[in-house]
Structure 1
Amino acid sequence: MKTRYDIQGQMAIGDTENMDEEAQMPTRPSDRLFDKIPLITALIAPFITLTVLAVGLVGYLSFRNGQKAVNDVAYRLRNEITQRIYDHLHTFLNTPHQINQVNAGAMNQGLLDAYDSTVLERHFWRQVRIFRPVSSIYFGNTRGGLVNSGREGAADSRYVIVTDGFASGPFRKYATDSLGNRTDILVTVPNFDARTRQWYAGAVERGTAAWSPVYILFTGQDMAIAASRPVYDGQQKLLGVVSTDIFLSQISHFLQNLSIGETGQAFIIERSGLLIASSTDEKPFTEQGGTEAQRRLHADESAISMIRHAAEALNKRSGGYHHITDVQHIEFESDGRCQFLQVLPVPDEHGLDWLIVVVIPQADFMNQINANNHITAFLIVLTLAVAVVISVLTARRITRPI
């Protein structure tokens, strides 16, 4: 019994010593750090941290979705505008070739006398009155003669042109009245030969419909392009070349009436970079006057910064305009703002090869997005404030009995 008592006593003493040793063990720094944190803070901090992370993630996703929505809308708008321009060009550029086809067919079948300049003059005058996009319709024969009827100037003045004897030689331009009758002589050119003109030689060389190079009118008021077609008789003998000119300013008028975002622009260029038309008021050629002759402008010479920067970016990104073979989408900076660009080639079977370019600033789509971002930011701050208030009140209520 004594022995058991001694053992139990020793054990009791041992337990006491262990308790003293535990009491004397040093406290870890991390334990002391957490001991100093108030309980209310320990309750609030995790809740607020999770709330901030959740709200921040929602805000970030909202911004990213807004950016994606802007890109999608810009992409659809560029596609829609580019397609509208393409469709308009297709119709506009087909018109002169259709007129030539009708006239060439009538001459081939003998329905329109290719040797009677008076008949041709009256026929062309009536056609010019019907087809508004057309600036002039004319025929040059194998003797170098010419008969022409057209319109010019803002007043839409009508005129006819004929060479003496319907052969190469003096060229006379007459004003006409409302019935197509000649009135005053406007211009006389001593030597004219239709066969030396590019619209004539190009069509004969190709043996089919062809386009002339774009040229500035001698009046200096507009640019034009000629669609030409060789005319043969029933025995496939060449009678001459029929041609139809169209004013290219009409393309600019169409582009100017398009809604291209808020501040977007559209323009059309040749593969050389020379401007054909644009949605601005800028003419694609230099003004008259001074010592220098009028010349056409390249897109990178434009006074419109958006067009100039777009042309530079397009030429640089594609490695040259001639390397653009299908639709392309490009983003670039202009005046410190991001711009969305789309380019589409416009080739045709008669040798034309232009590029449609549509440029829309990203800022045109960001107004509503920015407004939504401001609202989102306000709601985030409000949510955080409410979360903090609720967490503080809840933590105080929990810790009050303690």
Structure 2
Amino acid sequence: MKIGAPLSLRALLTIPYVSLVVALAMAIGALSYQAGRQAVDTVADHLLLETVHRIGQAVERHVVGSGAVLEAAFPNGMAAPRSVEEEFDALRTRFWIATSLHLDPNNYVYYGNREGQFFGLWRFDEQEAQLRLRLTSGVPRTLYRFTGIHGELREPQLEERVFEPRTRPWYLAGRDASTHTWTSIYIDFRTQSLVATRARRVLRPDGSIEGVVATDVALKGLNDFVRNLDLTPNGFAFIIEPDGQLIAASNAPNITQDDAGAAARLAARESGNPLLAATYAELSPLLADASADARPRTRQFAAPDGQLMQAAFSRVTDSAGLDWFIVVAVPHSDFMHGVTDNVKRTVMLGAAAAALVVMVGLLILSWVARDLRRLSQAARAIGEGDLNVPLHIRRRDEIGDLARSFVVMQHKLRTDRLTGLVNRETLLRRLDERVAFHRRAEDQRPFAVLFIDLNGFKAINDRHGHDVGDRVLVALGRRLRQGMREGDLVSRYAGDEFVVLVEHVAHREVAEQVRAHVEALLREPPADDVGLGPKATLDVGGAVGLAVYPDDGRDSDSLLQSADRDMYERKRRDRCS
């Protein structure tokens, strides 16, 4: 065809149409990519924050029992002995009890005084233990192995190196602090691994300082937890102190060797991992701001190699001065990989097949764009608080994987992590929907709300520990769910409080029968369900408040308040009787 010659009709129909299809394919690809990016960013933020929350829970499990351990070893107000020999048997008994509270990770409790004496008890397991003793300053400790709380001390072993308690970080920190305090993380004298120690000084009867009692929290288990996290192929997580020293990391060691070959702490900047060092350098100004919001936050930044990074971080503190930071970072390409590849394939297919299979290309692009739009709309709805938005995507590619992960995330946001019941937010939304349906449909059948507060739950926590308390909540939640009708909704409202939405009660007498049924469920001892055996006694029970719609309230707030007042009134009457 000569240049300037008039185009044939076929060319006039084909060239503009093919050009339009190619342009449309490129436009759809660009829009699909943008929608997918927005959806992925939202989902990625949720996943990163969830991972930070999981690590925070692991940290809390590691440190939560340390205060109780010190209290058991040296109760507050108990005067220090004038010497270790004077109260040897009492110290041994109390320290055994203290290490029994949280055997993992608080299996080591020890005491050093200003005369240089040292008394420590290390638990290998429930029966085997080791006594570490120094009665004279300037000599190594003597180690005794024994079995059982009052077991006979076996043949002593003398340590090779001299352990001087008065120069150790835990002694200096506890001596100088007026309350419980955490030492800076240090390398343990015997195990050569990272340890955090909680310490408190022990006073003489005249109020002067005699010594320091402390318990170790070995950080190996925390480091193993971080290393075993299920992250993306290039994602990583780490825990650091405010000065940048690593506590745990999924992609780097937390201990190195100095020039003399001795074990030494490793800073994030010197970890040898460029992405970890770059992440710390980017976040360090935010982490150094002591006045910043302690809640988990997210941030995007460019790494030195140019790739976009997505990170979440939070601060972990407690009353004893613990101050750690949790960081999870993932290259943005890890989240976008599937979406990017799929959009590229779609655009290329549309351009190559424009002349022959235009309709097929458009259908494929429309299919991809539709699912990406659903993801984007669902992510936006979740951001606005709607956790029940449906997501009907049935695919076996990366977008399908993302959609399934999205559904799993929705489920986690709707349910209470401990009991598996629906959480407070889901209950409130369901209750609002139920009230709205009653008004809109002119449904004359009332429904009821039961507000349940457990009795004696604090005593169970104090006597058996929080782990047993958690199992009691799980067992009672399961019992309530199994004991109600299929259409009723059982939720964990807060702490040891549950709320039940009872659908379609004919009148108040029926609601009272349901309340009596729930009270009977709560009176059944849960000892077998929590693994304490048939001989254990757990007196739980609960006060159950009742509110019936519309007699006791015409909106969710008034119904819950009415049920709450009724619950407290019944609790008051039970105490009086």
Normalised by the size of structure 1, how large is the TM-score?
0.73
Larger Rg: 1
| CA distance, structure 1, for counterparts of residue 358 and residue 229 of structure 2 | 52
The change in CA–CA distance for 1:184 and 1:191 in structure 2 (over 3 A counts) is closer
Q: How does 1:237-316 map to 2 (within 5 A)?
A: 240-280=211-251, 282-287=252-257, 291-315=260-284
Matched, 1:363 2:329: no
Alignment equivalent of 1:150, drawn from 119, 122, 126 = 122
| CA distance, structure 1, for counterparts of residue 88 and residue 341 of structure 2 | 68
Matched, 1:183 2:155: yes
Identify the structure with bigger relative contact order (alpha carbons < 8 Å, sequence gap 6+). Answer: 1
* Structure 1 SS opposite 2:355: helix
- 1:17-50 Cα shifts (integer Å, max 9, x gaps): xxxxxxxxxxxxxxxx999344444444444443
Matched, 1:121 2:98: no
Matched, 1:217 2:185: no
**What's the offset of the Cα at 1:101?**
2.4
Matched, 1:381 2:347: no
* Structure 2 SS opposite 1:355: strand
What amino acid does structure 1 have at the position aligned with 2:277? R
**What's the offset of the Cα at 1:253?**
1.0
What amino acid does structure 1 have at the position aligned with 2:289? H
**What's the offset of the Cα at 1:95?**
1.9
Provide the residue aligned with 2:415 in structure 1. none
The change in CA–CA distance for 1:199 and 1:276 in structure 2 (over 3 A counts) is same
| CA distance, structure 2, for counterparts of residue 373 and residue 265 of structure 1 | 27
Provide the residue aligned with 1:163 in structure 2. 134
Provide the residue aligned with 2:109 in structure 1. 137
**What's the offset of the Cα at 1:346?**
1.9
- 1:114-154 Cα shifts (integer Å, max 9, x gaps): 851233134424644651212520123465432111268xx
| CA distance, structure 2, for counterparts of residue 149 and residue 388 of structure 1 | 78
- 1:328-364 Cα shifts (integer Å, max 9, x gaps): 4132226564322222222222222221111112232
**Which structure: greater strand fraction?**
1
What amino acid does structure 2 have at the position aligned with 1:322? A
Instruction: State the identity %.
Output: 27
Q: Tell me, which stretches of 5 or more residues in structure 1 are unaligned?
A: 1-32, 391-402
Provide the residue aligned with 1:11 in structure 2. none
Query: Does the 8 Å contact 1:160/1:182 carry over to 2?
Result: no
| CA distance, structure 1, for counterparts of residue 107 and residue 45 of structure 2 | 36
Query: Does the 8 Å contact 2:301/2:309 carry over to 1?
Result: yes
* Structure 2 SS opposite 1:252: helix
Matched, 1:84 2:50: no
**What's the offset of the Cα at 1:61?**
0.7
**What's the offset of the Cα at 1:301?**
1.0
| CA distance, structure 2, for counterparts of residue 50 and residue 363 of structure 1 | 31
The change in CA–CA distance for 1:151 and 1:339 in structure 2 (over 3 A counts) is farther
Q: How does 1:35-46 map to 2 (within 5 A)?
A: 36-46=6-16
| CA distance, structure 2, for counterparts of residue 98 and residue 366 of structure 1 | 46
What amino acid does structure 1 have at the position aligned with 2:158? L
The change in CA–CA distance for 1:206 and 1:218 in structure 2 (over 3 A counts) is closer
- 1:264-305 Cα shifts (integer Å, max 9, x gaps): 11111111111111124x4312238x6354321111111333
Q: How does 1:70-81 map to 2 (within 5 A)?
A: 70-81=40-51
Q: Tell me, which stretches of 5 or more residues in structure 2 are unaligned?
A: 361-577
Indicate the RMSD between aligned Cα atoms, in angstroms.
3.6
* Structure 1 SS opposite 2:264: coil
Provide the residue aligned with 2:416 in structure 1. none
Provide the residue aligned with 1:59 in structure 2. 29
The change in CA–CA distance for 1:383 and 1:174 in structure 2 (over 3 A counts) is same
| CA distance, structure 1, for counterparts of residue 358 and residue 107 of structure 2 | 75
* Structure 2 SS opposite 1:208: coil
The change in CA–CA distance for 1:190 and 1:76 in structure 2 (over 3 A counts) is closer
